[in-house]
Amino acid sequence: MKILSGIQPSGQLHIGNYFGMMKTMIANMENSDLYVFVVDLHALTSVHDRQKLATGTLEAAADFLALGLDPEKCTFWAQSDVPEVCELAWILSTLTPMGLMERCHSYKDKVAKGVDASHGLFSYPVLMAADILLYQADQVPVGKDQKQHLEVARDIAQKFNNVFGETFVVPEPFISETTATVPGLDGQKMSKSYGNTIPIFLEGKQLKKKVMAITTDAIPVEDPKDPDKCNLYAMLKLFATSERLQEVRDLYVNGGAAYGYIKLELLDLISDYYADARQKKAEFLADPEMLRVILRKGAERAREKAVVTLDLVRDRVGLKY
């Protein structure tokens, strides 16, 4: 099975990205034909700073590799190194209904949060559909926030197949139930644009500051509380063993759950969980040329697949005169 997903290099990657997508992708490395890419063209919709975008791409690559992605066991590249995706995006855009695009909430959400209302931001889902369809992916692991974009990709694939004949695999989203929406410090979805993230590689005092800032209610320690309504418990669930979770759960239900202590426990768990990766990330970042070589090799492999699909598409639509 072909499994594909991408991530934007538009800021520090956070534990929502990790549990919503990266962890699933890394776990799929052994048993699937895996495609992982850093979507720098998409990031251009919100980053207009040459240095920031270029370093962001290398950092995101270092993050993925440090967390365990093996570039020998998958195809790993930077989106812009396979320019065929832009041509496919244009072709797809000519049969994407405006109504479909106008229903996409992420455009409105991003504009409401201050991102410039550019044409690129509006047509973001078409480029994402091209990303997926170009490689004929069967399955796309994402967080719940990308569900609508996957529906758009499926609609576009089906429309193309209806108009021009069977061409594209219609991709399926894969959204893990337990980590579909990882909450942020304030209980809303963890997101760069809400400023409520815990970056994966944060450590020491900075990490402590974040964890201590997780919002909780004001119910006294000795009173019973509902763990399933508690943001701190939701985060603990990602890192603690099931035995420990049961103990903490009992404290919530019976009284005795002290948020301050639970936060310190969570702090240690996060710190330990990413300790190895933190070390490896530093090693990767110390050698940016190696990162470039890895991405370029990956792009060569990705491009071999991309040209096959694009050639078929060109033929189907009549661009081969």
Binding-site ranges for ligand TYM (CB under 6 A): 4-8, 16-17, 20-21, 39, 42, 128, 131-132, 140, 142-143, 145-146, 149, 179, 181-182, 189-191
Q: Answer whether 24's CB lies under 8 Å from 176's CB.
A: yes
d(CA 263, CA 258): 9
**190 known ligand binder:** yes
Q: Which residue is nearest to ligand TYM (CB)?
A: 20
Min dist CB 115 to ligand TYM, Å, is: 12
**193 known ligand binder:** yes
User: 22 CB contacts (<8 Å, ≥6 apart)?
Assistant: 7, 13, 63, 64, 67, 69
Among 21, 173, 193, 46, CA closest to 122: 46
Among 63, 30, 1, 16, CA closest to 294: 63
**113 known ligand binder:** no
**182 known ligand binder:** yes
User: 110 CB contacts (<8 Å, ≥6 apart)?
Assistant: 45, 46, 121, 193
Q: Which is nearer to ligand TYM, 179 or 294 (CB)?
A: 179
Residue 190, strand partner residues = none
Min dist CB 41 to ligand TYM, Å, is: 9
Q: Which is nearer to ligand TYM, 75 or 257 (CB)?
A: 75
Q: Which is nearer to ligand TYM, 213 or 253 (CB)?
A: 213
What Rg do the C-alpha atoms of the chain give, in angstroms? 21
**8 known ligand binder:** yes
**12 known ligand binder:** no
Q: Which is nearer to ligand TYM, 19 or 284 (CB)?
A: 19
Min dist CB 147 to ligand TYM, Å, is: 8
CA dihedral 241, 73, 75, 279 (to 10 degrees): 50
Known binding-site residues equal 8-10, 16-17, 131, 143-145, 182, 189-193
Known binding-site residues for L-tryptophan equal 131
Known binding-site residues for ATP equal 8-10, 16-17, 143-145, 182, 189-193
